Amino acid sequence: MKPNGFLERLLQLAYDEDLGAAGDLTTMALVPEHLWGEGELMAKEALVFSGAEAFLAAFAHVDERVEVEMLVSDAQRCEAGACLARLKGPMRALLVAERTALNLVQRTSGIATFAAKVREAVEGTKLRVVDTRKTSPGLRMLSKQAVRHGGLQNHRFGLFDGVLIKDNHLAALDGDICEAVSRAKQATHGLLKIEVEVSNLKALQEAIVAGADVVMLDNMGDEEIVKAIAVAAGRVLLEVSGQITVERLSRLAAWGVDWVSMGALTHSARAVDLSLNFRPIV
């Protein structure tokens, strides 16, 4: 498999970091160039797998002679002890790519696993849980893909595909929400939904009057959120953000919140425990 353009750039940076100008000193000193090896990627805990393309690309980037047989698919639930992939190829290439491949798939599978837990918490409700832009730079595409593999949905991908008017934007207009929404609608020709972040009920009312499509209730407590739902009275979609925990989701769903954006999906998901062990082919 040849890496696509995005993965090619990501992997080039990753290997530049890891190999530097000198290359893998340990492997070159100890492993004969002609030696071939084989091994398995194993799950050491229950997980939802994500990152097959990145895992394959990490080895192809180093040496296209490496053969990787994926035994699981993205979004698949795996039990502890499951074999996820089998590999065969030049031992030097396997060792060079090992850590980069593991770093990527442990993180993406960790995000997918956490997202699946969140999805289960809101199953049967109308609450839509989405991710945020709080991703490690360069890993957003893989991170947001992993959120989908866990069964949740994405918010906007970046600054280019959605309008979210935040407090720092409003500061440039002396806090004038109506002016901000008007300018955003004009600039996007009505083709995109306009979302406004607010932190109090007065600003919520201003955003509704201004014609916002979505209002984000930022870091509001439960009591204030209940009041905000009453104020909105279905005139605008309400998104809750900040201090979101799995335990809090059931309450937000019961009250009738439309969306919850959860930065923890990508910035705080724990990397899952995987192992990748090789042996020489003799």
Question: Nearest-CA neighbor of 59 among 93, 25, 91?
Answer: 93
DSSP state, residue 233 = T
Q: In the chain, which ranges are continuous DSSP H helix?
A: 5-19, 25-30, 52-62, 91-122, 140-149, 167-171, 177-188, 201-210, 222-232, 246-255, 264-267
218 is catalytic: yes
Q: Please tell me which residue in 24, 131, 197, 206 is annotated as part of the active site.
A: 197
The CA distance from 143 to 43, in Å, is: 19
Q: Please tell me which residue in 9, 65, 99, 235 is annotated as part of the active site.
A: 99
CB 147 within 8 A of CB 265: yes
* Neighbour tally for 253: CB within 10 Å: 19
64 is catalytic: no
251 is catalytic: no
44 is catalytic: no
The CA distance from 85 to 275, in Å, is: 11
The CA distance from 110 to 272, in Å, is: 5
Q: Please tell me which residue in 86, 88, 119, 134 is annotated as part of the active site.
A: 134
3-class secondary structure, 148: helix
The CA distance from 86 to 18, in Å, is: 24
Q: Please tell me which residue in 166, 183, 227, 248 is annotated as part of the active site.
A: 166
The CA distance from 282 to 70, in Å, is: 23
197 is catalytic: yes
Catalytic residues: 99, 134, 166, 197, 218
